[in-house]
Homo-oligomer: A and B are copies of this chain.
Amino acid sequence: MELYELPLAEVSEKIRTREISPVEVVNSALVRLKEVEPAITAFVTVTEEIARAQAAKAESEIGAGDYRGPLHGIPLGVKDLYDTAGVPTTSSSKQRADNVPSTDSASVARLHEAGMVLIGKTETHEFAYGATTPTTGNPWDPDRVPGGSSGGSGAAVGAGVVHVALGSDTGGSIRIPAGVCGTVGLKPTYGRASRAGVASLSWSLDHVGPLTRNVTDAGIAMAAMSGYDRRDPATVDLPAPDFLTGIDAGVAGKKIGIPTNYFTYHVEPETLDVAKRTALLLEGLGAQLVEVEIPLAEYLLPTEWGLLSAEASAYHMGAMRESPELFTDEVRTLIEAGEAQLATDYINALRLRTRIQEAWRDMYDGIDVLLAPTVPGVAALREDPHFRWDDGVVEGATSAYSRMCAPANVTGLPALQVPAAFSAAGLPIGVQIIGKPFCEAEILQVGYALEQATEVVGRIAPVPIAGAR
C-alpha cells in the first residue's frame, strides 16, 4: 500500500512517531498526482519545489521536537481562488494569468501554521462562477464533471492526491464537488472562518472550508481555519472551536429533519433512494426522524441569485471596464446580467434573506439537523452537463447542483456533505447534514455516525493510470 492511500490519522501518527518523514508523504502525493493528473487535470499549478522544501522543513521541525499536530507534514491542495504567497493564483481565469500574490490568504496561512505542505493550486470554475469546472475530470469517471466550483479540489481529494483541499462555497461549491467526487466537504457557518485573501464571488454568501477524505479530517482542518479576522468583517469573534470532542457520541435521540418539499423535487431516483436509506440508517442508530416543510422554499433561489449576481458584478466591475475579453463568454454574460440589476431588487433579496433566516430558525425549533441530498444527481457528462427530468425539463448542471446547496448559503447555516453510497454505475452519491448556526460539531457528529455505519467514506477513486508511474 502506498503512503498516499493511508487515512490522514494513520499518516499523522506515523509522522508524529517519526516512523515516516513528511518528505516521504509528499513524495507519495506527488507520485500519485503525476499518475492521475493526465486524466483529471485537477491542478492549475503544481508546487513541487515548494512542497519538497516545506516537507523538509516539517521533517526538521518534527525532528527537533516541534510537532504541531495532526496536520503537520500533510499534503494540501488549495483552490486557485485562494492567495498563496509567491505562487500564481489565477482563479482559473485569463484575468489573473499573471497574478502572483505576495501574501497567503488567511486560511492558507493558518494551515501552514499547522504544518501543512502545499502540493499545488487546484482548478476552479472561472472565478467560482459555475459548478462544472470544465477544465477538470471526475476521478470516478474522467468523462464526467467533478462538480464545482471547487472541482479541482474535489478531484484531487477524490483521487487520493491530497488528504485535504480547500474549497469555497457560495452556492454549494464545496459540497457539490465533494458530493460528485465522493469526498467529505464542510461549509461552515457564515462568519466562522476568514475569507481574507480569497477572490470573492459574492461576499454575503461566500464561505471557505475543506474537502477531505473523512469526517474527522474535515473537523481537524476546519478548526485550524476558524477564527476572527479583522480583514474579514463577517467573521465572528468566538473561542477556538473543538469539533472533535464527542464526534463519536452517536445520534441516539437526535432529531433529524426530513424535508417533505424542495429537496424532493427533480431528484434522480437513486439519489432520492440514498437519502431515504440514510435517514432510515440514522433512525436505526437511535435518531428520531421528523418530517419538516422547508419554509419560503419558492424564494430560496431568487434570493440566492438576487444577491450573488449583483455582488459578483460589483466585484468584477474594474475588470469589466479594463479587459472584459479576458473573461470566458459564460462568465462575462453572467456579470453583464448582474450589472443591469437594480439596487431595489438587490435590497429586496436582502430582505427576503432575513425572512428566510427567521423562518428556518423556527423550523429548527423542532429539529437538531436537516438531512437532504447534497445534489439532485450524480456527476454529469462533461460533453453534456445537463439533467433531463421526467416532466421534460432540461436543467443545466450548475443550476441543478446549486439548487440543493444554495439554502445553506442563503441561511448561512453549516452544512456537511458526506458520501453515502455509490450508484449502480459506480458514481458517488452523498447527503448533506445542515445544522444550526455555529453547530458544526453537531453535523460532524452525525456525519461521523454515518461514516462509521457505511463503508463508502474514504474510498480513493481508481483513476486510470496514465503511464507516469
Contacts and interface: CB of A to CB of B under 8 A. Distances in A.
A345 interface: yes
Interface in A50-98: none
A339 to B, nearest CB: 6
A462 interface: no
Nearest to A347: B314
Contacts of A340: 342
A28 to B, nearest CB: 44
Contacts of A344: 310, 313-314, 317, 338-339, 341
Main secondary structure of the interface of A (DSSP, over half): helix
Contacts of A314: 343-344, 347-348, 351
Contact of A346 (B233, B343, B354): B343
Contacts of A230: 358
A313 B343 contact: yes
A358 B233 contact: yes
State the copy count for this chain.
Answer: 2
A338 B346 CA distance: 13
A233 B317 CA distance: 30
A442 interface: no
A354 B313 contact: no
Nearest to A234: B354
A343 B310 contact: yes
Nearest to A335: B344
A233 B354 CA distance: 8
A126 interface: no
A263 to B, nearest CB: 25
A71 B310 CA distance: 47
Contacts of A317: 344, 348
A311 interface: yes
Contacts of A233: 354, 357-358
Give the most central of A233, A314, A317: most B CB within 10 Å.
A314
A344 B311 CA distance: 7
A312 to B, nearest CB: 10
A357 B230 CA distance: 11
Interface in A437-465: none
Contacts of A347: 310-311, 314, 346
Interface string A15-59: 000000000000000000000000000000000000000000000
A342 B357 CA distance: 25
Contacts of A343: 310, 313-314, 338, 341-343, 345-346
A26 B341 CA distance: 53
A342 B337 CA distance: 12
A358 to B, nearest CB: 7
Interface in A286-329: 310-311, 313-314, 317
A311 B313 CA distance: 19
Contact of A342 (B311, B339, B348, B358): B339
Give the most central of A203, A313, A346: most B CB within 10 Å.
A346
Interface of A: 203, 230, 233, 310-311, 313-314, 317, 338-348, 351, 354, 357-358
Q: A-B pairs with the 5 shortest C-beta distances?
A: A310-B343, A343-B346, A314-B347, A341-B343, A314-B344
6 contacts: A233-B358, A317-B348, A340-B342, A341-B342, A342-B343, A343-B343
